[in-house]
Chain A
Amino acid sequence: MSGALAVSARLAWRNLWRNHRRTLIMLAAISIGVWAMIFMSALMRGMTDQMVRNGLRTLPGEVQVHAPGYRDDPSVANSMAWPQGALLSALQQPPVQAWSARVRVPAMIASERESRGVTLLGVDPASERALGSAPHADEISEGRFLEGPGDDGIVLGAALARKLDTGLGKRVVIMSQDPQNNVADRGMRVVGLFRARLEGTEELYAYTGRQPLQALLNIGDEISEVAASAGDYRHTARWAPALVSAAGPQLEVKTWRELDPYLGTMLRVQDGFSLIFMVVIFAVLSFGLVNTLAMAVFERVREIGLMQALGMRPGAILRLLLLESLYLLLLSLVAGNLAAWLTIKPLERGIDLSIVAEGMAMMGLGTTLYPALAWSDMLFSTAVVVLLGVLASLLPAWRAARLDPVQAINQV
């Protein structure tokens, strides 16, 4: 370290503690601001994650492969062959962590009293579980989930069962169309009921084994879609192109952002909102920081004049004041980040918001909010604080560096 820098570093540190009370008040204010930034980011990230994941569970999957035309007409007529060759190879190696081939068709389901339109999913339970799209064990409220791709039972959402006035062990009739537009129907026994975070999900989806549904629809080994996941929905653009080239032109590969632009837009809006929130919080704090530094300069005009007289260059004076500000910012960042870590980590198990369940459901959220602390948010808030803090400190520091030494030394 150069001599001037070393002396600046020492002076800046000691100057910071000349007025303990003012420094501690400012330190507390910035720390609380940093904590608030990270805490709000964690809440928003948790909400966004939950909304997107809920959305992906009903899509489901981060990337989907379809036959062309399936998105416009999601009927059995637009089925695709079981993945083979390059596509199968791409699905079976990293970064793809899980994939599932499923039949997904619109169908009518009827009990002895009611009938409803549903999306019927013919699945392989093991691969759906790996993908995270099948109901978890704790979400099965009665009975069981499917035991394999050949299971010919049906699992309904609890809300759908209620509306159909049916229940576990009863038979329902499934009716859909085969590729020749003939009605395909059969009776199935309800083997399980599931609960979802959103009632709409419970009403919309019914699960059965893939093979019985393929047989019912008379489509052989064909499927409606392949869903794949790499475990990080935010970065699908990094690996989806590999699937596109593996699938070739005869198949359509879409990321969840393309499949549900609303979700993608919401994610961007939330990220943008986080940035605005951080900047606004720290912009307000910056006034306090500028005031602290301006007071520090005002109280030390003679001293600054003296240092200039002794040969300290204006640039070194500027650096001294900026270092003082930087020390304050860094201490506040350590305290703020630590406080955020200590308060958010215990809350990651979930905050019970069942008291506002309806409002949460409208936002596509469950009744428990899971704040998500991300290193990127902590780093980002640190960068915002350091950048804006140093910018805010530039003016008083520059003024100090421009002081006339004679006037400064003679100031009473």
Chain B
Amino acid sequence: MSAVVCEAVCRTFHQGDALITGLDHVSLEIQPGEFLCLSGPSGSGKTTLLNAIGALDTPDGGEITVGGQRLGSLSRAELAELRLRRIGFVFQAYNLIPVLTARENVEFVMQVQGLSAARRRAVADEMLAAVGLAGLEERRPAQLSGGQQQRVAVARAVASGPDLVLADEPTANLDSHSSAHLMDLFEQLNGERGVTFVIATHDPGVMGYARRLVRMLDGRVVADEAQTPQRMAHE
């Protein structure tokens, strides 16, 4: 079963009187365990497609299936449940909850899922150690650097055991060193845990990590090709 199937997905937006095309009959199939990058200039539709796949936005036309579930047939609560159980998000801005510590942020999704406190803590500490933040568990976001915050967000995205991680410009606010570390981490999680990664980016360094590169322009897929991954240099 495919991890994600998009069939002729369309999305338009109103901007004043103008009608903007966000997605124009996008069809795409993503297999479990893929490491895929969506690339293209700003306004090409990468984020719109990511939001639609992540059940955050509803397309005007077409059909999206995630893990065998057709999103169009799900209620708001069911979509929330799907995001909770199957999808992990990493956003461009760090998007941590400022009143929670690093550990509590990582535990957040697991707690909403209903995992026991002991289990949550063990997983959260393991994930924070995996992203290189052992010893910083009790720090709040304001006490962490940008790169550290983004790593907490990654730990949170994968700690709950999702099938699919969607990352929108995850390195946009990071320096090259932190970016390389983050992408190494994504690659490692993909390789070790088999988590499917879909990353929207226009950073060539990030694209280099992808085993499949989908290029978008004006809301359409203009190229979809497999490639040999190339890691960023750690400066």
In the complex, which residues of chain B have a beta carbon less than 8 angstroms from the beta carbon of A311? 80-85, 87, 109, 112-113
- How far apart are the CA atoms of A232 and B166 in the complex, in Å? 70
A310-329 vs B: 1/0 string, CB under 8 Å?
11111110000000000000
B217-235 vs A: 1/0 string, CB under 8 Å?
0000000000000000000
B115 contacts partner chain A, Cβ-Cβ < 8 Å = yes
- How far apart are the CA atoms of A340 and B113 in the complex, in Å? 43
In the complex, which residues of chain B have a beta carbon less than 8 angstroms from the beta carbon of A7? 108, 111-112
B45 contacts partner chain A, Cβ-Cβ < 8 Å = no
Number of interface residues of B (CB under 8 A): 31
In the complex, which residues of chain B have a beta carbon less than 8 angstroms from the beta carbon of A316? 112
Q: Which chain A residue lies CB-closest to B81?
A: A311
Asked if residues A3 and B112 are in contact (CB atoms below 8 Å), the reply is yes
- How far apart are the CA atoms of A116 and B195 in the complex, in Å? 104
In the complex, which residues of chain A have a beta carbon less than 8 angstroms from the beta carbon of B109? 310-311
A405 contacts partner chain B, Cβ-Cβ < 8 Å = yes
Which of A2, A306, A311, A316 has most B Cβ within 10 Å?
A: A311
Within 8 A of A (CB), among B84-116: 84-85, 87, 89, 91, 93, 95, 97-100, 104, 108-115
A4-16 vs B: 1/0 string, CB under 8 Å?
1011001100110
Segment with Cβ contacts to A, from B51-59, B169-177, B199-207: B51-59
Asked if residues B113 and A3 are in contact (CB atoms below 8 Å), the reply is yes
The minimal Cβ–Cβ distance linking B58 to chain A, given in whole angstroms, is 10
Size class of A's contact patch? 20 to 34
Given contacts A3-B114, A313-B77, A314-B76, contact A409 B100 (CB under 8 A): no
In the complex, which residues of chain B have a beta carbon less than 8 angstroms from the beta carbon of A409? 56, 91, 95
Inter-chain contact total with CB atoms closer than 8 Å: 75
Within 8 A of B (CB), among A257-316: 302-303, 306-316
A356 contacts partner chain B, Cβ-Cβ < 8 Å = no
In the complex, which residues of chain A have a beta carbon less than 8 angstroms from the beta carbon of B54? 309
The minimal Cβ–Cβ distance linking A411 to chain B, given in whole angstroms, is 11
The minimal Cβ–Cβ distance linking A31 to chain B, given in whole angstroms, is 24
- How far apart are the CA atoms of A314 and B82 in the complex, in Å? 14
The minimal Cβ–Cβ distance linking A294 to chain B, given in whole angstroms, is 19
Residues of B within 8 A of A (CB): 51, 54, 56-57, 76-77, 80-85, 87, 89, 91, 93, 95, 97-100, 104, 108-115, 156
Besides the known contacts A15-B99, A306-B97, A309-B56, 14 further A-B residue pairs in the complex with CB atoms under 8 A apart: A3-B115, A4-B114, A11-B100, A302-B93, A303-B97, A303-B98, A306-B91, A309-B91, A312-B80, A314-B80, A315-B77, A406-B57, A409-B91, A409-B95
Q: What 10 A-B pairs are tightest by C-beta distance, nearest first?
A: A311-B84, A14-B99, A3-B114, A311-B83, A7-B111, A313-B80, A3-B111, A306-B95, A405-B56, A406-B57
Return 25 A-B CB contacts under 8 Å, by A number. Answer: A3-B110, A3-B115, A4-B112, A4-B114, A7-B112, A18-B98, A18-B99, A302-B93, A306-B95, A308-B56, A308-B80, A309-B89, A310-B83, A310-B89, A310-B108, A310-B112, A310-B156, A311-B82, A311-B109, A312-B84, A313-B77, A313-B81, A405-B56, A406-B56, A409-B95
